Structure 1
């Protein structure tokens, strides 16, 4: 499709790297340095082009039933807002994030953005050379974190009742973030594909061999990669506690997630049986209750998702009926 003349006049020496249809003849074009929003001529307005540079400090999103408003914060230069159909939000953010990462010097020349994910307050961007993570109410600001693949020594995925933890091992520490279970397979496939392509390997075992050789050590065991970090399992962004039933082994798990060793004489406050065998401080009743709560949360999450889908269908039907009048 040819570009509107008014858009061509604003491109200068750049060319669009992405185009998103916004409905009717309205379109959005993304160049390496800016986003151009084209509004076609209407009954009461002329055609216009709005220019949004990518050197921003923050992006926030507000949603209504049918629309989404992106507000771009340029610091002392003020803010700019653009309203788009709600169903086009992810299509717009993906190329826009690529431009923002480039403008901030996060990505290198030739580095491509594979996929972007937004889960509650987590924004996850997978590129050909790194994973970029942002947590907060805004979908993006300058307080992001990045994990270059050259620093990654192991990768693991830990399924839970509501969400799956993605565990990146970087040298002597781990970084964790959660993806809802309904999206976990896509996240896993995307991260694996990008990481394996970077190292030119076909599977996780080949990657671990290369990572171990570069460290000059034996290949790390998967159990070590999946071990808990000192700060727990990362922020819970989905309203669910991935609590597992306590194991009848060396200790019990306290409310802060730290394993308490149980001594034979009960000095740590745990009960001791008549045979001097340690007994878990938490009852089996407690484990069943935790399981029921987790299952209830998962059911609520599923019902909420179904309601959102039904609302989307209703809104689509209303739009089509209006278009037919």
Structure 2
């Protein structure tokens, strides 16, 4: 990219490290201390250079249909500039490279290789670390960083709606949730940066070379290890910081419902067997009585009638048990539906709490 003469005059001895062409000869240039925006001469304006120092208090981005506006807040005031929407990603990476260096978050020779915005989560990938910022602004002092030098494992867990980037730092997982429609791009950027850092060619090779052994991991887990509350995870704990264990909701689960149904079925089976056994026993006893006492055919008919009545009673008992089983099954299904609804409500509550609503 050709550096305009007006930009060279504004460098003041600094070098241009990175540049983004905005089209129509407009460019954005990165120096060690500033971002310079060059506007070429137009029909209604002269060519000019605007300076945006990197010691910002916060950075925000407002996306429009055609243009994206960058808002930089300083102690002395606010500065803004706009770029075409199709170039805002590259400009954001350039700006964050300078801002992270100025804030001491990254090294002087460290560059941003990817920056992603998901609602109020910003995920920044450099060639040496992953930086996460949560808040309404794109950047403030409220951030977390995960250096690759502390990495002991890397994995990606795909869900129905989102994919979690799981960074193990010293054996403790840090989870970052990314929407599935952008998850592949995020995974590619993270893997490329980590693979280059450790000079490996695959995820399996990476984890084999940097993973902690079972003893160290068990010791970390026993010591109350776990990660802080992250955007990742289905329902993350609100108090405990252990992300290895999935949270549960008190009350019966699907497996518990199955156990209840099985117990009721066994009860019905025993009742059926008992009824059949009682009927058979009564018939045998009446037969024996008929033989011993020499009952007449009329007596035999009465015994047969009583036996049928007893069998009918047993069948009514069985029908009652089966009816109770049906009612219990319906109740269990309804209870499971309520549990699923409660779980969805809790997930939404956690998400809104994290977004600071």
**TM-score normalised by structure 1 residue count:** 0.69
Question: Aligned to 1:196, what secondary structure does the other structure show?
Answer: helix
CA distance in 2, matches of 1:176, 1:204: 17
Classify 1:172/1:220 alpha carbon distance in 2 versus 1 (closer, same or farther; 3 Å): closer
The answer to whether 1:286 aligns with 2:337 is: yes
Residues 20-45 of structure 1: per-residue CA shift (max 9 Å, x gap): 22232222112222111111222332
Other-structure match for 2:239? none
* Matched residues, number: 261
Q: Give the alignment of 1:1-325 within 5 angstroms.
A: 1-74=1-74, 76-212=75-211, 215=212, 217=214, 234-235=230-231, 257-258=247-248, 260=250, 272-273=260-261, 275=263, 283=334, 286=337
Match of 1:322 in 2: none
Q: Classify the secondary structure of the residue corresponding to 2:190.
A: helix
Tell me the SS of whatever aligns to 1:275.
Answer: helix
Give how far 1:4 is off.
Answer: 2.3
Q: 1:159 to 1:217 in 2, by over 3 A?
A: closer
Provide the secondary structure at the position in 2 that maps to 1:88.
helix
Comparing 186-195 with 127-136, greater Cα deviation is found at 186-195
List runs of 5+ in structure 1 lacking aligned partners: 244-255, 294-325
Change (3 A) 1:65 1:113: closer
**Cα deviations by residue, 1:125-183 (Å, 9 ceiling, x for unpaired):** 11121101111211111111100112221112111112101111112532111112122
Distance 1:21 1:34 in 2: 17
- Compared CA separation, residues 202 and 67, structure 1 to 2 (3 A): closer
Helix, strand or coil for the counterpart of 1:99?
Answer: helix
Please, which runs of 5 or more residues in structure 2 have no aligned partner?
Answer: 236-245, 267-328, 345-357
Q: Structure 1 CA distance, aligned partners of 2:77 and 2:85?
A: 24
1:216, CA displacement in angstroms?
A: 5.7
Structure 1 contact 271–281 (Cα < 8 Å) conserved: no
Q: Provide the secondary structure at the position in 1 that maps to 2:263.
A: coil
Change (3 A) 1:284 1:181: farther
The 4+ residue runs of structure 1 with deviation greater than 3 A are: 215-221, 229-232, 259-263, 269-274, 279-287
Question: Which structure has the larger Rg over C-alpha atoms?
Answer: 2
Higher helix share: 2
Write the deviation string for residues 82-134 of structure 1: whole angstroms up to 9, x where unpaired: 12222221121111111111111111233232222222222111112110111
CA distance, structure 1, for counterparts of residue 132 and residue 169 of structure 2: 15
Q: SS of 2:22's equivalent?
A: strand
Instruction: Give the direction of change, closer, same or farther, for the CA distance of 1:32–1:230 in structure 2 (3 Å limit).
Output: closer
RMSD: 3.7
CA offset digits 1:270-314 (Å, max 9, x no partner) = 99446179x996659839x88xx9xxxxxxxxxxxxxxxxxxxxx
Distance 1:30 1:230, change over 3 A: closer
1:200–1:20 Cα change, 3 Å: closer
Q: Secondary structure at the match of 1:15?
A: coil
